[in-house]
């Protein structure tokens, strides 16, 4: 039934025979048309199920969705078939789908009596520009974790999770010639990359994932990708370089490799470190590599230093820690994700204990989760920023990430004297907040807050607040400071001397933008 493409390497057909054929784009196209015709789209699904049932699916709870699809419309039938693993009468399916072609190519199978079942999950997924796409995954894995409603087979391929959409949202989406999606899984990152990269290469250590990626792309009407099997950068030729590398890797720090989609099989956070360290030499100049990662907080070590040491030579880096969990929270999160809490209590306790034992042996006290972005640069002194920002952000952030690195270039090219000559503009939708005792004449703190992108907030002094307020691109920074000095009765030379570092920070964090 399944026919892996040549580029997938040494893949045995037998391991994939339960999947639909990947070499029948004609059938995938017909199936796609039929699904769209029945409004089996992200919007259609939300309309049908309603927000609570839709959200419950993401928590692996299917009861609300089953209740919402008891009717007989084509859309209800498709949700039961492709998302809820329910058998559906042959005649009902034949009204909506090209049933013979789907049976022939293995999208559907006969299950007792006169009923048909899907062989994979198919989840409607809306692209960033409103595209109607479909993500294929293993049965029971379109929503929630593998332990939710799905399988716990080692090579199971999951659908879209929160991490998948986070990475898709932070990825820089400028048009490029070549993109690499490392650890492609269901193919979601490759699907996004196909919108702005001429060539997309997708790799995975799991042949099942490559097969499923081919199905996701075909069913979404997206260009095929160059699919290659292998670990980390093994499938990439020595002389190959990319403009964009993305990876939502198996970042979970766990005792032993149980589930390929999440356990990297290397000790501690070594897989993420290796990925980051090896990405630099695979990038074209100016190219971005963007990863989600987990990292250890080790007793007696500064977590920021640990991450700085991962950054390869010749790369600027922006690393954002979004969350930190202590080792107990972390072990529980992933035990639950795999459904281990539903097992025999003694087995659950043994697994939990093994996890803590491993952390203790490594002196790991907590685990950080976040985003790592590298940009290949020819600059003599690359810039590495490692910061913590656990607050809400506005996705998609791709443009914000690109702008961060553009501002770095600007600041690198402007010393303090040049900054004072430059003109700046306050970025749109920034507000000033004042905090202090009610009735007090002067605020204790003045905070500038962004309402877009990273939604940063930064405390400024009176000069910083006044300066930002006046920045409309008309006067140079130096002239504004001279005026502020006069108003405040300060020495203008001293003010010009001490303020550039504050201007630098406001530019770096995206509160001010160069007007020229
Ligand atoms: C967390 S899933 C991400 C899937 C998908 N890219 C996404 O964003 O949803 C990680 C993927 O990496 C693959 N993988 C695991 N170990 C790998 C390795 N050493 N090299 C390459 N891929 C690997 C898994 O098979 C899985 O498909």
What pLDDT is attached to residue 7? 44
Q: Please report the pLDDT score of residue 431 as a whole number.
A: 95
Give whole-number Cα distances, 422 to 428, 441, 473, in Å. 19, 33, 9
Q: How many CB atoms lie within 10 A of CB 117?
A: 17
- Write the residue with the smallest CA distance to atom 19 of ligand 1: 231
In a 3-state reduction of DSSP, which class is residue 244? strand
Q: Where in the chain is the domain with CATH 3.40.50.150?
A: 5-19+120-398
DSSP structure class, residue 351: H
From CA 105, how far away is CA 78, in angstroms rounded? 18
Task: Characterize the bridge pairing of strands 176-182 and 242-247.
Answer: parallel
- Pairing between β-strand 430-435 and β-strand 445-450 as defined by DSSP bridges: antiparallel
Q: What is the pTM of this model?
A: 0.94
Q: Give, for ligand 1, the residue of 142, 163, 185 to mutate: max count of ligand atoms closer than 8 Å to Cβ.
A: 185
Bridge pairing between strands 176-182 and 197-204:
parallel
* Topology (CATH) of 5-19+120-398: Rossmann fold (3.40.50)
Per-residue pLDDT of the chain (516 residues; tens, 9 = 90+): 333 343 444 434 456 889 999 999 999 999 999 999 999 999 999 999 999 999 888 887 889 999 999 999 999 999 999 999 999 999 999 999 999 999 999 999 999 889 999 999 999 999 999 999 999 999 988 765 445 545 567 888 999 989 999 999 999 999 999 999 999 999 999 999 999 999 999 999 999 999 999 999 999 999 999 999 999 999 999 999 999 999 999 999 999 877 888 888 889 999 999 999 999 999 999 999 999 999 999 999 999 999 999 999 999 999 999 999 999 999 999 998 888 888 889 999 999 999 999 999 999 999 999 999 999 999 999 999 999 999 999 999 999 999 999 999 999 999 999 999 999 999 999 999 998 888 887 888 899 999 999 999 999 999 999 999 999 999 999 999 999 999 999 999 999 999 999 999 999 999 999 997
Ligand 1 atom nearest residue 234's Cα: 20
Domain ranges in the chain with CATH number 3.90.930: 414-514
pLDDT score of 39 = 98
* Residue nearest to ligand 1 atom 9, measured at CA: 164
Half-sphere CA count of 356, side-chain side, radius 13 A: 10
What is the structure's pLDDT at 113? 82
pLDDT tens for each residue of 17-71: 899 999 999 999 999 999 999 999 999 999 999 999 998 888 878 899 999 999 9
CA–centroid distance, 129 to ligand 1, in Å, is: 25
Token readout for 150 is 């799905």
Q: What pLDDT is stored for residue 87 in this prediction?
A: 96
414-514 has which CATH code?
Answer: 3.90.930
Q: How many CB atoms are closer than 10 A to CB 154?
A: 12
Q: What is the dihedral of CA 48, 52, 57, 63, to 10 degrees?
A: -80
Smallest CA separation from ligand 1 atom 11, residue: 183
pLDDT value at position 142?
76
CA nearest ligand 1 atom 12, residue: 183
């Amino acid at each position: 039934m399944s026919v892996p493409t040549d580029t997938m390497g040494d893949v045995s057909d037998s391991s994939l025979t339960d999947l639909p054929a990947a070499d029948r784009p004609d059938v995938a196209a017909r199936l796609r048309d039929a699904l769209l015709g029945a409004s089996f789209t992200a919007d259609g699904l939300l309309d049908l199920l309603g927000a609570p049932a839709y959200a419950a699916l993401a928590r692996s709870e299917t009861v609300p969705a089953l209740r919402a699809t008891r009717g007989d419309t084509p859309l209800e039938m498709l949700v039961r078939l492709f998302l809820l693993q329910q058998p559906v009468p042959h005649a009902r399916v034949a009204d909506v789908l090209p049933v013979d072609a789907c049976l022939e190519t293995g999208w559907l199978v006969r299950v007792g009596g006169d009923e048909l079942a899907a062989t994979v999950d198919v989840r409607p997924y809306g692209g960033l520009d409103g595209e109607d796409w479909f993500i294929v995954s293993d049965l029971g894995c379109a929503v929630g974790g593998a332990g939710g409603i799905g399988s716990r087979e080692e090579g199971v391929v999951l659908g879209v999770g929160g991490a998948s959409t986070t990475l898709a949202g932070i990825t820089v989406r400028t048009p490029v010639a070549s993109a690499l999606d490392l650890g492609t899984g269901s193919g979601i990152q490759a699907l996004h990359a196909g919108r702005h990269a001429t060539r997309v290469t997708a790799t995975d250590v799991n042949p099942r994932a490559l097969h499923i990626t081919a199905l996701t792309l075909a069913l979404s009407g997206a260009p095929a990708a160059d699919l290659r099997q292998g670990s980390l950068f093994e499938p990439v030729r020595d002389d190959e370089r990319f403009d964009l590398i993305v990876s939502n890797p198996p970042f979970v720090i766990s005792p032993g490799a149980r589930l390929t989609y999440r356990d990297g099989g290397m000790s501690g956070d070594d897989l993420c470190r290796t990925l980051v360290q090896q990405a630099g030499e695979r990038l074209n100049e100016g190219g971005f590599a963007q990863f989600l990662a987990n990292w250890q907080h080790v007793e007696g070590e500064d977590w920021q230093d640990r991450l700085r040491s991962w950054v390869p030579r010749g790369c600027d880096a922006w690393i954002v820690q979004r969350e930190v969990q202590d080792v107990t929270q972390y072990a529980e999160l992933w035990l639950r994700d795999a459904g281990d809490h539903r097992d025999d209590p003694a087995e659950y306790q043994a697994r939990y204990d093994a996890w803590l034992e491993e952390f203790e042996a490594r002196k790991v006290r907590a685990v950080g989760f976040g985003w790592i972005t590298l940009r290949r640069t020819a600059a003599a002194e690359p810039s590495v920023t490692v910061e913590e920002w656990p607050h809400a952000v506005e996705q998609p952030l791709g443009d914000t990430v690109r702008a961060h690195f553009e501002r770095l270039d600007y600041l690198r090219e402007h010393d303090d004297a040049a900054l004072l000559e430059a003109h700046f503009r306050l970025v749109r939708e920034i507000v000033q907040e004042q905090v202090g005792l009610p009735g007090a004449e002067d605020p204790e703190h003045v905070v500038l807050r962004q309402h877009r992108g990273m939604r940063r907030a930064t405390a400024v002094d009176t000069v910083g607040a006044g300066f930002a307020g006046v920045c409309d691109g008309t006067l140079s920074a130096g002239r504004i400071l001279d005026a502020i000095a006069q108003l405040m009765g300060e020495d203008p030379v001293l003010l010009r001397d001490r303020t550039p570092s504050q201007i630098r920070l406001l530019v770096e964090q995206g509160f001010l933008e160069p007007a020229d």
